[in-house]
Structure formats: structure tokens, C-alpha cells
């Protein structure tokens, strides 16, 4: 069912079993899991079925740290959420990403990769991906043109990615949600406050406001924040009527350890003659899987580095001048239009498909793990949005380890490429400048993670291993906000897998 | 000129003659005839497709980086050179290609690498570029 909250009378009370706040990849995946059951599911979405400037404006906030995309463009507040401008990159986290690494402060998940394995498999279907297999040998056996670069497999490996169509949740799953009898989607229902009981160990209700000035209230047995890592932290911090520090924040953990994947042009690979690169190249919307180059887990341990991945793009020279963040549109609407234009070009056959056997020069592009850093955080602004909620400011902070990990990974690649006589690698100057300085070309992937990080102890994080907020019995967080570490995999596949895991957990306790 | 002065001058000339080749290399003024030979050697390396056009500027950058190191010592047999090149002795002319390739491979295996104009090269390649640059 679908109800436009703007049409409801002021003071409307809504009751249900599970209240899901946010209808993006996590919220819709969770709601779908409960479709056709007896429980009454309330799915609250701040926007409608298309971008609305007034609603999108609620995401405005200042970047007070590292240069970053404007916050109003980095997240889409409408049905389907940020999958509306998703590029479809999917990969699993690696074993090492779950481990406690003594050289990475605050690293370690409460469980390992095996725990997520069955949920990754289920998430594959939701994200319309190919076979759940990320073993490069599997893909080499299936694609005769796939040849790995002849690098020392003890040092470097090919990590596989798959590409979702990409699944635009807002269109692909709209009917599933709207036609469901036990799931009710409330659009234009912006949650402004989460009300806890006096002891602050249980949530009683959430308050909704509309731009028309109407106030609604939802009561449920369980509440799941599924609204992105910035908004989830913002809501917990701003819901401070019972506790000055906000909810789940007795130990000042909420909003901290915000992580992105530092993404940046880093170097070039030059070959004396073309090498068949079918395994490594991607044409957007065309390629279904590709490999990127990462250090082996053993080598990460030996060198005490973060995870870092290198992808290849043919024939792109002199990219140092390109300021990725600065050239991207400031407003979400323009971002969406850009994607729609790319999709149109694809459908019209206008997107060039590089011949993987025809190039001798490649741009090397980094997507790196970011060290969990308490100083990298979401904080509340003194300024309030149109609905009276303090805006969120982002203080994205990187560390010396972040930069050293990228530099060392590339140096190992350069050494290997030269050793085997494949060619030579050129590294950009910014890698060798001050380790606390980052170039203007540094960007991210719109990957917001870690602000309500998972931890066994409430001293180290916000949610427990079942994604329940420490100390609050019926409040959960779904999405990449719960990731203790980020790995190098784009987060969507993992956050959907984690949401399915949470869904199974809720089924055991409801 | 008396007999003593003649003998003294003759002795100086003999000493200068004996020490001349080493003294010449110490000042890094390689024989002009090597220029084309070095260029050919660089072209035939695995990295020739890069060094071909950039050897001169890479060599210049390398020399500026190791300025203190090469002052008064031989480029290839000084302390910096000894780290990288075990077998190359330019006093006997340019070594065969395979020997240079071996040295380059050994450099990459042992991480004796240097970044010139952004390119990650072996020390042997870097020194050959420097030698090329010095050869006017």
C-alpha cells in the first residue's frame, strides 16, 4: 500500500510491528523480506517517487573537513534512495576486512566473512547480479579472453567485481512495495525525532513532519533506521529530548568513524605493446564483471597496510588536473539528469566500448579502504532545516595510514610490473607530498559508512552484532552506517546482505 | 730549462698521463663517441619505449637528486653506483644488452628503484639516463 503523508490529517497516529525509516536499498530490501507476512510493516520515506527540491534540501549541510561532494547531492531522498544514481559496482568484502588488525586501530568485526556468505548470495538476486562467485579462477574458466596480468600472486591478486544493471530500487521494486498488503509505504514522511522512554532503553514512537506543517506519529514494536550513514547519525544525535547526547550516544560514539572510499587518479601503466586486458576493463552498463588489482591479504599484513584496489582505464593521460569532486553537480537533480543522459547514450549505442587488446597506456585509479578514525565524523549544525531538525555537517578526515597504504600499494605494483618486464608505472606527485595532505583530485564514491559502527562493546561502537543500538532494546540500524571497517568493495552488496541478516534476526525475536 | 726542471716536468706529465682516464670519469665527462651507443642501448631495453624520449631529462633529474653523491666520484663505481651495478664497468665500453637487462631485473627484484619524472625505474636505468645526459 502507499499513502502520501501530506494527505493525512494533522495528529494522525500510525501503528505497526516494524517501522522502517528510509526507503533506499536497505529499507526496501528489508520491507520486501516482510511482504506477505502477518506483521504490519510501516515504511517511511521522506520524499516521493521523484526528486523534490524542497525535500532534497533537507540534506543540505556543510563539509567542514576534507573537500567532499555537496551533501545535498551525495544522498537522494526519494523512494529508491541513492540507488537512483548508483553505478552498480558490487563486490564482497575480503576475509581480512573482518579481522582485528593491530596496525588498524578500531578494526575487526564481531563476525567473519563466512557469516555473511549466505546473505551475499541472497543479496545477489535483489541486485540482479550474476552468479554469486568472486573467484577470479571461476571467471577465467568462464570467459576465454580473461588473462591475468603476470604478477607475483603472493604479492598482488585480481579481485573481482560484478555490475548490477544497476538496479534502481525505486522503479524495480515499486510495485512489490505498493501492492503489498502488509507493507505500507508513507511517502513525504520525514522523521524528525525518535522518542525514547524515560529510561532511554526503549523507543516509544517516531515523530514525522511534512512541509505542510502536519505532525504525525508512528508507534511500533521495532524501529529500523535505514536512511544512510549521515542521516542515521543525524537522527540519533538530534533525538535528544531524553538524553542530552542523543540516542545510543552515552559514550560519544554516534557519528564518529565516518568512512568513505578515497577514490583518486594515482598513476599510469605504460606497456611496450598491448596486453589483452579483457579481465580488467569496464564499459558502464555493458560490462558484467571485471577485475581490479589489490594486495594479497598476506602482503597487507606484512606491510601493515589498509586494503587498496587499483583499476585500469585505457588511454587517459594527464588526469592530474581533474578535480573530480569539484566537477560533479552540486544538486541532486542535475546528478540524476547526468545519469539519465548516460543511460540514454548507452541505449542509443553511443557509449564507446574500448577494445581491450588495443591499448598501451592505462590510467590507474584507486579505491582504498579508509582507516576508522573517530575524528572523521558527522556532527550537528546550529542551523536547522525547514522541518526544524538540526542539519548535519560532515567532517571527513583522513590519516597518514590512508595515504601511506595507497603509496605503498602502488610502489609494490610498480616493482612487480618492472620485475616481470610488463612495462613501467608512473606515479603522481601527490603520493610523495606530505602524508597529511591530499590532492584536489581526491574524491569518494558517495559511500557513507561507519557512523553507527558495529561493536561487541558499547565502548567501541553504536550497534551490537545484530545491528541493535547498544542499550536500546527495539532500535536497529540497517545499512553501511554499521560497517566497522570499509574494505575496498563498494558498499551496496554488503549493506543489502547485512540488511537481510538483520531481517532474519528480527524474525527470530518478533 | 735545466736538467732538474726537465725531469720534474717529465714526471708531472707521466703522472698526469697515468691518472688521466680516471680523472676524466671522475668529472663525468664521458667520451662523445658513447652518445649514440648509449641511446641505442636505452632504446633496446624493455623500458626503451619510455626512456627513448625522456632519457635526457630523467638523467638530469637523477643527477640533481644524487648531486652530493657523485661529486668527485665516478657515477657508476661510486658508493651509489656500487649499490646498483655490480658488473657494468664503463671504462671498458658499454656492456652488452643482456647484462644491463639482468642488472635492471636484479634492481626490480631487490627494490633498488627510483622515481624519475614520476616513472618508477631501476637504479641501473636511472644511471644510464644520467650517463646519457652527461654525454654531450
* pLDDT of residue A131 exceeding 90: yes
What's the pLDDT score for residue B82? 46
Region A374-396: mean pLDDT is 98
Whether residue B62 contacts residue B116, with contact meaning beta carbons closer than 8 Å, is answered with yes
Rounded to the nearest 10°, the torsion over CA A123, A127, A131, A137 is -90
What's the pLDDT score for residue B24? 39
Q: Is A426 part of the contact surface with chain B (CB cutoff 8 Å)?
A: yes
| CB-count exposure of residue A164 (10 Å: 0-12, 13-18, 19+) | buried
Whether residue A312 contacts residue A363, with contact meaning beta carbons closer than 8 Å, is answered with yes
What's the pLDDT score for residue B7? 59
| Smallest CA–CA distance from A428 into chain B, residue | B118
Q: Given an 8 Å threshold on Cβ–Cβ distance, is B109 in contact with A425? A: no
Q: Which of B49, B117, B120 has its CB closest to that of A272? A: B49
**Rounded distance between C-alpha atoms, residue B25 and residue B78, angstroms:** 11
Confidence of residue B4 (pLDDT cuts 50, 70, 90): low
Write out pLDDT tens, residues B13-23. 555 444 434 43
Alpha carbon separation from A79 to A34, A72, A83, A490, A509 (Å, rounded): 18, 16, 9, 21, 28
List the one residue out of A383, A397, A394, A477 whose CA is nearest residue A436: A397
Q: Given an 8 Å threshold on Cβ–Cβ distance, is A418 in contact with B120? A: yes
Whether residue A20 contacts residue A30, with contact meaning beta carbons closer than 8 Å, is answered with yes
The DSSP output letter for B85 is -
Residue written as cell 555537496?
A: A70
* pLDDT of residue A125 exceeding 70: yes
Q: Is B108 part of the contact surface with chain A (CB cutoff 8 Å)?
A: yes
Q: Which of A421, A427, A429 has its CB closest to that of B120? A: A427
Report helix, strand or coil for A271.
Answer: coil
Each residue of B70-92: b (16+ CB within 10 Å) or e?
beeebbbbbebbeebbeebebee
Report helix, strand or coil for A151.
Answer: coil
| CB-count exposure of residue A84 (10 Å: 0-12, 13-18, 19+) | buried
∠ CA A477-A483-A484, nearest 5°, is 120
Test mutation, B115, B120, B125, chain A, max A CBs within 10 A: B120
Q: Is B57 part of the contact surface with chain A (CB cutoff 8 Å)?
A: no
List the one residue out of A403, A375, A93 whose CA is nearest residue A262: A403
Region A415-420: mean pLDDT is 97
What's the pLDDT score for residue B30? 47
Write out pLDDT tens, residues A132-186. 999 999 999 999 999 999 999 999 999 999 999 999 999 999 999 999 999 999 9
Q: Given an 8 Å threshold on Cβ–Cβ distance, is A418 in contact with B113? A: yes
**Rounded distance between C-alpha atoms, residue A77 and residue A448, angstroms:** 15
Considering chain A, what is the average pLDDT of its residues? 95
* pLDDT of residue A20 exceeding 80: yes
Name the grid cell of A143. 570467459
What's the pLDDT score for residue B84? 47
Chain B CB contacts of A425 under 8 Å are 119-120
Q: Given an 8 Å threshold on Cβ–Cβ distance, is A424 in contact with B109? A: no
Contacts of A471 (CB under 8 A, 6+ apart): A200, A201, A248, A250, A458
Confidence of residue A462 (pLDDT cuts 50, 70, 90): very high
Contacts of A251 (CB under 8 A, 6+ apart): A458, A459
Residue written as cell 691518472?
A: B19
Number of H helices, E strands in chain B: 7, 2
What's the pLDDT score for residue B33? 56
Region A366-371: mean pLDDT is 98
Whether residue A18 contacts residue A42, with contact meaning beta carbons closer than 8 Å, is answered with yes
Chain A CB contacts of B119 under 8 Å are 424-426
Report CA A143 to chain centroid distance, whole Å.
Answer: 29
Q: Which of B104, B105, B118 has its CB closest to that of A426? A: B118
Q: What are phi and psi of A256, to 5 degrees?
A: -80, 165
**Rounded distance between C-alpha atoms, residue A348 and residue A159, angstroms:** 31
Each residue of A409-435: b (16+ CB within 10 Å) or e?
bbbbbbbbbbbebbbbbbbbebbeeee
User: Nearest-CA distance from B116 to chain A in Å?
Assistant: 9
User: Nearest-CA distance from A235 to chain B in Å?
Assistant: 46
Q: Given an 8 Å threshold on Cβ–Cβ distance, is A415 in contact with B120? A: yes
Region A182-200: mean pLDDT is 98
Whether residue A119 contacts residue A497, with contact meaning beta carbons closer than 8 Å, is answered with yes
Chain B CB contacts of A414 under 8 Å are 113, 120
Report CA B113 to chain centroid distance, whole Å.
Answer: 17
Name the grid cell of A287. 560490462
| Segment among A14-23, A181-190, B6-15, B56-65 with least mean pLDDT | B6-15
Test mutation, A271, A415, A422, chain B, max B CBs within 10 A: A415
Number of H helices, E strands in chain A: 14, 17
* Greatest CA separation for chain B: 63
List the one residue out of A127, A154, A114 whose CA is nearest residue A491: A127
Q: Which of A411, A415, A424 has its CB closest to that of B119? A: A424
* pLDDT of residue A30 exceeding 70: yes
Q: Is B78 part of the contact surface with chain A (CB cutoff 8 Å)?
A: no
Contacts of A469 (CB under 8 A, 6+ apart): A236, A247, A248, A452, A462, A463, A475, A476, A477
**Rounded distance between C-alpha atoms, residue A52 and residue A45, angstroms:** 12
Q: Which of B108, B113, B118 has its CB closest to that of A428? A: B118
What's the pLDDT score for residue A322? 56
Contacts of A338 (CB under 8 A, 6+ apart): A85, A329
Name the grid cell of A260. 568513505
Whether residue A163 contacts residue A88, with contact meaning beta carbons closer than 8 Å, is answered with yes
**Rounded distance between C-alpha atoms, residue A77 and residue A40, angstroms:** 24
Q: Given an 8 Å threshold on Cβ–Cβ distance, is B119 in contact with A425? A: yes
Output B75 or A32, whichever has higher pLDDT: A32
The DSSP output letter for A481 is G
* pLDDT of residue A193 exceeding 50: yes
Alpha carbon separation from B133 to A200, A208, B63, B78, B89 (Å, rounded): 74, 73, 9, 18, 18
CB neighbourhood size of A167 (10 A): 22
Amino acid at each position: 500500500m502507499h499513502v502520501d503523508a501530506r494527505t493525512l490529517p494533522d495528529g494522525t497516529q500510525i501503528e505497526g510491528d516494524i517501522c522502517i525509516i528510509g526507503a533506499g536499498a536497505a529499507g526496501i530490501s528489508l520491507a520486501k523480506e516482510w511482504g506477505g507476512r502477518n506483521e504490519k510493516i510501516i515504511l517511511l520515506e521522506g520524499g516521493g517517487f521523484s526528486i523534490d527540491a524542497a525535500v532534497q534540501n533537507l540534506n543540505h549541510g556543510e563539509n567542514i573537513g576534507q573537500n567532499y561532494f555537496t551533501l545535498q547531492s551525495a544522498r537522494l531522498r526519494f523512494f529508491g534512495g541513492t540507488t537512483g544514481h548508483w553505478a552498480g559496482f558490487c563486490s564482497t568484502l575480503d576475509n581480512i576486512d573482518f579481522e582485528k588488525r593491530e596496525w588498524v586501530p578500531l578494526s575487526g568485526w564481531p563476525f567473519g566473512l563466512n557469516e555473511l556468505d549466505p546473505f551475499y548470495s541472497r543479496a545477489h538476486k535483489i541486485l540482479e547480479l550474476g552468479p554469486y562467485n568472486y573467484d577470479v579462477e571461476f571467471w577465467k574458466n568462464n570467459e576465454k579472453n580473461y588473462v591475468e596480468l603476470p604478477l607475483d600472486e603472493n604479492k598482488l591478486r585480481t579481485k573481482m567485481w560484478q555490475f548490477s544493471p544497476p538496479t534502481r530500487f525505486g522503479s524495480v521494486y515499486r510495485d512489490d512495495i505498493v501492492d503489498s498488503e502488509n507493507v505500507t509505504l508513507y511517502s513525504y514522511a520525514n522523521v524528525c525525532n525518535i522518542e525514547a522512554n524515560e529510561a532511554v532503553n526503549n523507543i516509544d514512537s517516531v515523530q514525522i513532519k511534512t512541509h505542510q506543517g502536519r505532525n504525525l506519529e508512528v508507534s511500533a514494536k521495532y524501529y529500523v533506521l535505514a536512511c544512510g550513514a549521515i542521516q542515521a547519525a543525524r537522527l540519533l544525535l538530534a533525538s535528544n529530548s531524553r538524553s542530552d547526547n542523543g540516542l545510543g550516544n552515552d559514550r560519544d560514539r554516534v557519528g564518529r568513524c565516518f568512512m568513505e572510499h578515497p577514490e583518486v587518479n594515482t598513476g599510469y601503466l605504460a606497456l611496450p605493446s598491448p596486453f589483452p586486458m579483457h579481465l580488467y576493463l569496464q564499459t558502464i552498463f555493458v560490462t558484467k564483471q571485471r577485475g581490479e588489482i589489490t594486495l594479497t591479504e598476506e602482503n597487507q599484513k606484512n606491510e601493515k597496510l589498509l586494503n587498496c584496489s587499483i583499476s585500469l582505464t585505457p588511454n587517459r593521460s594527464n588526469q592530474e588536473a581533474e578535480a573530480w569532486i569539484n566537477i560533479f553537480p552540486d544538486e541532486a537533480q542535475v546528478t540524476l539528469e547526468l545519469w539519465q543522459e548516460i543511460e540514454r547514450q548507452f541505449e542509443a549505442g553511443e557509449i564507446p566500448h574500448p577494445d581491450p587488446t588495443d591499448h598501451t597506456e592505462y590510467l590507474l585509479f584507486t579505491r582504498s579502504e579508509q582507516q576508522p578514525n573517530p575524528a572523521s565524523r558527522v556532527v550537528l549544525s546550529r542551523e536547522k532545516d525547514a522541518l526544524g531538525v538540526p542539519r548535519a555537517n560532515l567532517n571527513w578526515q583522513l590519516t597518514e595510514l590512508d595515504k601511506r597504504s595507497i603509496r605503498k600499494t602502488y610502489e609494490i605494483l610498480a616493482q612487480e610490473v618492472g620485475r616481470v618486464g610488463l612495462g613501467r608505472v608512473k606515479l603522481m606527485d601527490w603520493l610523495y607530498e606530505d602524508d597529511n595532505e591530499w590532492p584536489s583530485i581526491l574524491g569518494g564514491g558517495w559511500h557513507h559508512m561507519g557512523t553507527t559502527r558495529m561493536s561487541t562493546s558499547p565502548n567501541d561502537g553504536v550497534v551490537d552484532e545484530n545491528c541493535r543500538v547498544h542499550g536500546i532494546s527495539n532500535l536497529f540500524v540497517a545499512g553501511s552506517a554499521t560497517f566497522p571497517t570499509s574494505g575496498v568493495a563498494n558498499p551496496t552488496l554488503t549493506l543489502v546482505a547485512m540488511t537481510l541478516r538483520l531481517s532474519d534476526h528480527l524474525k527470530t525475536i518478533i | 730549462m735545466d736538467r732538474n726542471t726537465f725531469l720534474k716536468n717529465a714526471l708531472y706529465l707521466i703522472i698526469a698521463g697515468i691518472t688521466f682516464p680516471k680523472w676524466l670519469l671522475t668529472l663525468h665527462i664521458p667520451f662523445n663517441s658513447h652518445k649514440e651507443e648509449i641511446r641505442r642501448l636505452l632504446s633496446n631495453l624493455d623500458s626503451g619505449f619510455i626512456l627513448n624520449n625522456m632519457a635526457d631529462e630523467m638523467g638530469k633529474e637523477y643527477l640533481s637528486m644524487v648531486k652530493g653523491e657523485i661529486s668527485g666520484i665516478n657515477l657508476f663505481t661510486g658508493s651509489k653506483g656500487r649499490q646498483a651495478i655490480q658488473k657494468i664497468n664503463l671504462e671498458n665500453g658499454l656492456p652488452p644488452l643482456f647484462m644491463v637487462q639482468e642488472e635492471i631485473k636484479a634492481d626490480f627484484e631487490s627494490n633498488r628503484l627510483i622515481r624519475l619524472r614520476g616513472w618508477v625505474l631501476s637504479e641501473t636505468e636511472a644511471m644510464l639516463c644520467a650517463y646519457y645526459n652527461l654525454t654531450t
